Structure 1
């Protein structure tokens, strides 16, 4: 699976827009499956019970996605919000935009712009707050080596943009390091050039995680 961006779990981002007296409130949150998305949409209905429309869109890491217009003309509300999530590269994300009708019809073009703009502002608010995380394919590599090679291998980990999460000392040294998958391949090729007597390496399967 390729990397993607997502809102960090437990965080929300919000934005508002007023267009011809109609008030739009976009709420963005992390969800990991369809059930979580449905529950989040239900919470927004409870949070804004007097809103005329509760427009929703969500995208999951596995590629599933859905958009709902909730009574707005077809294609004028949910799809523009979904497009914002796609364009931002977000996955495992749900955006609900609540609209309080101001008495003036906005027309199809006006609705598309209003819902899209409000959702985009919510994404921008999440970025500004540091709430968006990059999820990438991460490889954990455990290296066992002699004390004599410790400094050399630690420098190599840093050069290859790896991160050491733990170092254990006994009669030998054990490094627990994590790399982006592409950098892990580079590290393994480089450390092989040190010779078989340098260290022993265990490589875990890649997993999608924040790096």
Structure 2
């Protein structure tokens, strides 16, 4: 069961993902969490402290989500990997849209405030380790380099789809084509 502080941070992630970084205030977090005014300020004395704590909580939640995915995704070829990544992208743009928007808002904050980068970078490195393992499992000849290409492509695709949504049916085909073009394996194509 989440602590009161975690509930406040989860509410803050919701504010960030649904209203943007400018709306992230102590008052907005209190309202979103359904707690008395001043509750968030009791835990996070300044807005900077709130944002720093949000980054940490976001990284925890992001890692937990990817750990769940890594626990059941076991691709054996580029097509299966593309299918798993397509499911992730569709979820990121649908049910997890607020979390996804929060991610990009935090990326912008980290670009402006380098002190925030450590938690996000640690989380991203862990995600890339899992993706590198998937690429290695499907026979990639250069899993580290190809992981960077695939993950950067997905980040760009998701950001583009958030800003300029296209038909979701096209996403899976585009991801499949891109994964197959970016990933070289020692296996023959199916």
Normalized per residue, the structure richer in strand is 1
TM-score normalised by length of structure 2: 0.25
TM-score normalised by length of structure 1: 0.23
Larger Rg: 1
